[in-house]
C-alpha cells in the first residue's frame, strides 16, 4: 500500500515587500496509512499552507506532493479524503442538518439518514434542526467533524481541530479522532497545542519556518527521561563545556540549568559544577514530554520561551551557542545550516 | 450537476439574506409604490412618464443589486474559508464558479420578480390597468432586464476572479454604463463614415464597442411606454437578444474559469 501522504522537497514561496519568503522550505513528509500523524509547529510555521498544497487549493513553488499515491489536487482522490479547515465557518442561515445535506450533495450523496447518523455520532442529534448561527464553537467544530466523515474518508486533514475550544470540547474532539484510528482511517492533524497531540498521535513532524526540525514515532522521539540539574554561581566557561550534543543548557546570571538525557550520569555535571565553584540547587529526574521536543526543535528563534534552550536534538548542525555570544546571529545561522 | 445546483442553492439562500441587498431592494420597491403618488406629473403625460419612471427604477435597482451581489460572491467564500471545504470535496473549480454564478442569477431573478410583481400590482390597483395586454406588455420589459442583469452578473463574476470587490464594483459599473447609457456615444465615435473623428479615438471606440457587451439592446421599454408602437419581428428580436446574452455569458464564465483555475485561493 502506498503512503497516505508524501512530500518531496516541497517549497512554497511568497513574494513579500522584503523579497521572497519560504513559507514551506524543502519539506519532506511521509505519512503511513492508518496512523495519526501530528503536524506540529508554532503559529506561522507553514502548517496550513502545507495542508492547502496537499489539497490542491494552492500550488507549490517546487517539489512534489502526493496524497494517497496521486499528485495533490487530484479530484478522484478528493472522494477519499476530507478536510476540516482551521477556524471553519459555515453558511449561518442553514441548520446543522442542512449543512450536512449540502456537503453530502457535493459527493452526490442524497441519504438524509446518513447525515443524521453522523450528527448523532458527534452528539448533535438534538440540535440538528437549529441554525448554525446558534451553535457554540465546540458544536460548530463537531459539525465540521461530522461533515468530514460524510464520504467515509481514508484520510482526514484536521487543521488545528481543537483551536479555541474549551477543555471539555477538547476531550470530545480528541475522543472522536481516536475512534477514527480504530476505523483504520489515516488522520493528519496540525496543531500548536501539544497536550492533545501527545495523547493521540503515533508519529509527529515538528516544523518551524517551513522546515522539518524533527520527525518520527512519538515513542522514539520521547524515549528516555530527562534529568535537570540546576546550579548557581557558574561561569560561562562551564556552560560551554556542558554542551556536548545532547544537553539543553542555559545560563542566566550564573544560574546554570543543564537538561540532559537520563542515560547520562548527572554526577559528572555535579562534579564539574562543584570544581568550577558553583553550587548545586537541585537534580530532578522527569519524564520527557512533547513540549521538550517542541522547545528543542524550535529553539532557534523562539522568543516566547522562558529560558534560552538550545537544541542539539533532531536538527543536525544546529549547534548554536547560548547566552549572548552567538545569540544575535542565531536566526540566520540556523536557516542556512540545516540540510 | 448536483454539486453545481447545491452550490447555486446555498448561494441563493445566502444572497436573499444579505442585508445590503435587502435594503437596496426595499428602496426600489418603495420607489415603485410611491411613484404614482407623485402629483407633480401632469395627467396627460402621466401614463407615459410613470411607465418610464417605474421601469427605470427597476432597471437601476436591479443593476445595483446585480453588481453588489456578485462582486462579493467569491471573495466572501475565501474570507470565510467556506470555499476550502467545498474545494476539498470532489468539486472542480469550474463547477464551483458556475454554481456561484447560477445562485446569484437565481437570487437576482427572485428579487426582480418581486419588483415586477410590485409594479404590476401598483398599475392594477392604483391605475386600474387590469387588462392582460397592458400588464403583459409592461411585464415583458423586466424580463429582458433580467437577461441584461444576468449578463452584467457574468461581467462581475469574471472580474471577481482577479480584482478586489471595490475595484470590481467600479469596473463592472463602468462596463455597464459604457454598454448602456454611453453606448450611443461610443457608437458615434466608432462610426467609420464620420470623417471628423480622430483615427485613434475611432479605433479605441471600436475596440470598446466590440468588447463591451451592448446592454442598450435589452432596453425594450419603448413599446411598453408608448403602447401605440408596434415592433416588427419582436419574437425573433427577443430570441436573438437572449442568444447574444448567453454567448457573452459563456465567454465571460469560461474566461473567468481559466483565471480562477490557476488562482490561489
Ligand atoms: N498568501 C500569502 N501571502 C504571503 N504570505 C503568506 C500567505 N499565506 C500565508 N503566508 C505566510 O506564511 C506563513 C505560514 O502561514 P501558515 O501556513 O498559515 O502557518 P500556520 O498554519 O503554521 O500557522 C505565515 O507567516 C503567513 O504570514
Ligand atoms: Mg494554520
pLDDT per residue as tens digits for the range A86-126: 888 889 899 999 999 999 999 999 999 999 999 999 999 99
In this structure, are A45 and A157 located in the same domain? yes
Q: Which of A49-53, A192-196, A311-315, B235-239 has the highest mean pLDDT?
A: A49-53
In this structure, are A216 and A245 located in the same domain? no
Asked if residue A317 belongs to a domain, the reply is: no
Does the pLDDT value for residue A337 go beyond 90? Answer: no
Regarding the beta carbon of A49 and ligand 1, being less than 6 Å apart is answered yes
* Per-residue pLDDT tens over the stretch A28-38: 999 999 999 99
In this structure, are A80 and A64 located in the same domain? yes
Does the pLDDT value for residue A12 go beyond 80? Answer: yes
Residues A285/A225, Cβ–Cβ less than 8 Å: yes
DSSP A131: B
| Of the candidate ranges A177-186, A239-248, A262-271, the one whose mean pLDDT is the lowest | A239-248
In this structure, are A35 and A12 located in the same domain? yes
Distance (Å, rounded) from C-alpha A232 to C-alpha A248? 16
The β-bridge partners of A259 are A228, A248
Please provide residue A35's backbone torsions phi and psi, each rounded to the nearest 5 degrees. Answer: -105, 160
Greater pLDDT, A170 or B175: B175
Distance (Å, rounded) from C-alpha A207 to C-alpha A216? 12
In this structure, are A278 and A153 located in the same domain? no
Residues A257/A284, Cβ–Cβ less than 8 Å: no
Distance (Å, rounded) from C-alpha A117 to C-alpha B152? 43
Tell me the average pLDDT of chain A: 83
Q: Quote the pTM value.
A: 0.83
Contact: B3, A108; criterion CB under 8 Å: yes
Please provide residue A37's backbone torsions phi and psi, each rounded to the nearest 5 degrees. Answer: -110, 125
Q: Note the residue count of chain A.
A: 339
Provide the chain B residues 90-109 that lie in CB contact (below 8 A) with chain A: 90-92
Asked if residue A292 belongs to a domain, the reply is: no
Question: Residue ranges of the alpha helices (H) in chain B?
Answer: 2-15, 19-34, 43-71, 73-79, 82-87, 93-126, 132-160, 165-179, 183-190, 199-211, 222-225, 234-262
Give the model's confidence band at A334: pLDDT under 50 very low, under 70 low, under 90 confident, else very high: very low
Cα angle for residues A200, A201, A202 (degrees, 5° grid): 125
Inter-CA distances, B155 with B14, B67, B150, B152, B218, Å: 21, 9, 9, 5, 16
In this structure, are A31 and A125 located in the same domain? yes
What's the confidence (pLDDT) of residue A302?
40
What does the block give as the cell for A26? 524543502
In this structure, are A192 and A278 located in the same domain? no
What's the confidence (pLDDT) of residue B43?
61
What's the confidence (pLDDT) of residue B231?
64
Q: Which residues of A touch B22 (CB under 8 A)?
A: none
Provide the chain B residues 74-93 that lie in CB contact (below 8 A) with chain A: 80-82, 84-92
* Per-residue pLDDT tens over the stretch B62-98: 999 999 999 999 999 998 889 999 999 999 999 999 9
What's the confidence (pLDDT) of residue B191?
81
Q: Which residues of B touch A147 (CB under 8 A)?
A: 85
Asked if residue A301 belongs to a domain, the reply is: no
What's the confidence (pLDDT) of residue B39?
55
Distance (Å, rounded) from C-alpha A55 to C-alpha A66? 10
Among residues A221, A237, A264, the one where a domain terminates is A221
Provide the chain B residues 13-32 that lie in CB contact (below 8 A) with chain A: 13-14, 17
Among residues A179, A200, A221, the one where a domain terminates is A221
ipTM above 0.90, yes or no: no
Regarding the beta carbon of A47 and ligand 1, being less than 6 Å apart is answered yes
In this structure, are A126 and A33 located in the same domain? yes
Protein residue with least CA distance to atom 13, ligand 1: A44
Q: CATH number, domain at A154?
A: 3.40.50.300
Q: Which atom of ligand 1 is nearest to the CA of A52?
A: 17
In this structure, are A70 and A154 located in the same domain? yes
The β-bridge partners of A131 are A95
Count of domains forming chain A = 2
Asked if residue A174 belongs to a domain, the reply is: yes
Does the pLDDT value for residue A333 go beyond 70? Answer: no
What's the confidence (pLDDT) of residue B142?
93
Asked if residue A276 belongs to a domain, the reply is: yes
What's the confidence (pLDDT) of residue A261?
78
In this structure, are A72 and A170 located in the same domain? yes
Q: At what angle do helices B19-34 and B93-126 cross, to 10 degrees?
A: 20
Greater pLDDT, B238 or A245: B238
Regarding the beta carbon of A43 and ligand 1, being less than 6 Å apart is answered yes
Average pLDDT score over residue span B186-191? 81
The β-bridge partners of A70 are A67
Give the model's confidence band at B46: pLDDT under 50 very low, under 70 low, under 90 confident, else very high: low
Distance A46 CA to ligand 1 centre (A): 6
Give the model's confidence band at A328: pLDDT under 50 very low, under 70 low, under 90 confident, else very high: very low
In this structure, are A212 and A234 located in the same domain? no
Asked if residue A164 belongs to a domain, the reply is: yes
Q: How many CB atoms lie within 10 A of CB B213?
A: 25
As a dihedral over the C-alpha atoms of residue B235, residue B236, residue B241, residue B247, rounded to 10 degrees, the angle is 130
Q: Which domain holds residue A231?
A: 226-286
Is the four-CA dihedral B134, B137, B142, B145 of positive or negative sign? negative
Among residues A286, A301, A334, the one where a domain terminates is A286
What's the confidence (pLDDT) of residue A318?
34
What's the confidence (pLDDT) of residue A183?
92
Average pLDDT score over residue span A130-142? 91
What does the block give as the cell for A184? 483504520
> Which residue has 546570571 as its cell numbers?
A253
Asked if residue A41 belongs to a domain, the reply is: yes
Greater pLDDT, B261 or A193: B261
DSSP B231: -
Residues A129/A115, Cβ–Cβ less than 8 Å: no
Does the pLDDT value for residue A204 go beyond 60? Answer: yes
Mutate to test the interface with A, among B14, B80, B84 (most CBs of A within 10 A): B84
What's the confidence (pLDDT) of residue B230?
62
* Per-residue pLDDT tens over the stretch B191-212: 878 777 788 888 888 888 888 8
Contact: B81, A93; criterion CB under 8 Å: no
Burial of A33 (0-12, 13-18, 19+ CB in 10 A): middle
The β-bridge partners of A16 are A19
In this structure, are A280 and A178 located in the same domain? no
Asked if residue A48 belongs to a domain, the reply is: yes
Q: CATH number, domain at A282?
A: 3.30.70
* Per-residue pLDDT tens over the stretch B5-42: 999 999 999 999 999 999 999 999 999 998 887 756 56
Average pLDDT score over residue span B247-252? 96
Distance (Å, rounded) from C-alpha B154 to C-alpha B261? 17
Contact: A83, B264; criterion CB under 8 Å: no
Mutate to test the interface with A, among B90, B96, B263 (most CBs of A within 10 A): B90
The separation between the first and the last C-alpha atoms of chain A, rounded to the nearest angstrom, is 29
Residues A29/A60, Cβ–Cβ less than 8 Å: no
Residue of B85, B91, B82 lying closest to B13 (CA atoms): B82
Distance (Å, rounded) from C-alpha A7 to C-alpha B152? 43
Amino acid at each position: 500500500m502506498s503512503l497516505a501522504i508524501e512530500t518531496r522537497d516541497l517549497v512554497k514561496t511568497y513574494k513579500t515587500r522584503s523579497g521572497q519568503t519560504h513559507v514551506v522550505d524543502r519539506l519532506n513528509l511521509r505519512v503511513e496509512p492508518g496512523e495519526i500523524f501530528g503536524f506540529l509547529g508554532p503559529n506561522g510555521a507553514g502548517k496550513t499552507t502545507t495542508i492547502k498544497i496537499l489539497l490542491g487549493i494552492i500550488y507549490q513553488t517546487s517539489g512534489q506532493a502526493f496524497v494517497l499515491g496521486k499528485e495533490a489536487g487530484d479530484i478522484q482522490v478528493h472522494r477519499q479524503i476530507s478536510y476540516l479547515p482551521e477556524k471553519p465557518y459555515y453558511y449561518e442561515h442553514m441548520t446543522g442538518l442542512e449543512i450536512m445535506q449540502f456537503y453530502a450533495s457535493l459527493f452526490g450523496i442524497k441519504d438524509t439518514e446518513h447525515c443524521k447518523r453522523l450528527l448523532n455520532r458527534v452528539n448533535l442529534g438534538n440540535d440538528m434542526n437549529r441554525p448554525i448561527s446558534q451553535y457554540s464553537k465546540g458544536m460548530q467544530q463537531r459539525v465540521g467533524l461530522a461533515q468530514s466523515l460524510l464520504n467515509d474518508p481514508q484520510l482526514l486533514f484536521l487543521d488545528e481541530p481543537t483551536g479555541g475550544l474549551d477543555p471539555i470540547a477538547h476531550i470530545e474532539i480528541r475522543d472522536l479522532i481516536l475512534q477514527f484510528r480504530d476505523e483504520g482511517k489515516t488522520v493528519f492533524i496540525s496543531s500548536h497545542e501539544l497536550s492533545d497531540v501527545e495523547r493521540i498521535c503515533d508519529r509527529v513532524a515538528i516544523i518551524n519556518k517551513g522546515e522539518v526540525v524533527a520527525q518520527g514515532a512519538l515513542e522514539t522521539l520521547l524515549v528516555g527521561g530527562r534529568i535537570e540539574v540546576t546550579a548557581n554561581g557558574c561561569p560561562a566557561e562551564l556552560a560551554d563545556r556542558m554542551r556536548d550534543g545532547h544537553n539543553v543548557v542555559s545560563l542566566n546570571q550564573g544560574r546554570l540549568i543543564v537538561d540532559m538525557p537520563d542515560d547520562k550520569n548527572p554526577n559528572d555535571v555535579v562534579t564539574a559544577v562543584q570544581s568550577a565553584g558553583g553550587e548545586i540547587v537541585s537534580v530532578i529526574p522527569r519524564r520527557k514530554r512533547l513540549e521538550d521536543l517542541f522547545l528543542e526543535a524550535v529553539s532557534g528563534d523562539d522568543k516566547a520561551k522562558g529560558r534560552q534552550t538550545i537544541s542539539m536534538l533532531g536538527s543536525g548542525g544546529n549547534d548554536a551557542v547560548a547566552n549572548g555570544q552567538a545569540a544575535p546571529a542565531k536566526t540566520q545561522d540556523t536557516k542556512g545550516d540545516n540540510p | 450537476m448536483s454539486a453545481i445546483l447545491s452550490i447555486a442553492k446555498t448561494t441563493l439562500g445566502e444572497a436573499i439574506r444579505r442585508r445590503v441587498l435587502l435594503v437596496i431592494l426595499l428602496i426600489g420597491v418603495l420607489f415603485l409604490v410611491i411613484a404614482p403618488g407623485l402629483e407633480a406629473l401632469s395627467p396627460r403625460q402621466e401614463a407615459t412618464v410613470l411607465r418610464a419612471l417605474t421601469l427605470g427604477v427597476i432597471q437601476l435597482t436591479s443593476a445595483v443589486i446585480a453588481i453588489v451581489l456578485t462582486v462579493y460572491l467569491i471573495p466572501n467564500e475565501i474570507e470565510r474559508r467556506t470555499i476550502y471545504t467545498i474545494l476539498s470535496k470532489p468539486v472542480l473549480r469550474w463547477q464551483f464558479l458556475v454554481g456561484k454564478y447560477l445562485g446569484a442569477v437565481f437570487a437576482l431573478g427572485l428579487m426582480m420578480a418581486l419588483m415586477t410583481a410590485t409594479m404590476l400590482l401598483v398599475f392594477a390597483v392604483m391605475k386600474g390597468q387590469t387588462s392582460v395586454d397592458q400588464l403583459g406588455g409592461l411585464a415583458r420589459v423586466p424580463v429582458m432586464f433580467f437577461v441584461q442583469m444576468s449578463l452584467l452578473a457574468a461581467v462581475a463574476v469574471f472580474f471577481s476572479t482577479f480584482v478586489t470587490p471595490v475595484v470590481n464594483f467600479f469596473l463592472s459599473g463602468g462596463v455597464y454604463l459604457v454598454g448602456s447609457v454611453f453606448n450611443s456615444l461610443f457608437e458615434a465615435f466608432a462610426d467609420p463614415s464620420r470623417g471628423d473623428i480622430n483615427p485613434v479615438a475611432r479605433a479605441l471606440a471600436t475596440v470598446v464597442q466590440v468588447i463591451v457587451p451592448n446592454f442598450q439592446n435589452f432596453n425594450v421599454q419603448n413599446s411598453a411606454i408608448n403602447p401605440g408602437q408596434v415592433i416588427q419581428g419582436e419574437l425573433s428580436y427577443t430570441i436573438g437578444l437572449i442568444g447574444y446574452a448567453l454567448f457573452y455569458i459563456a465567454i465571460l464564465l469560461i474566461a473567468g474559469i481559466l483565471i480562477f483555475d490557476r488562482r490561489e485561493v
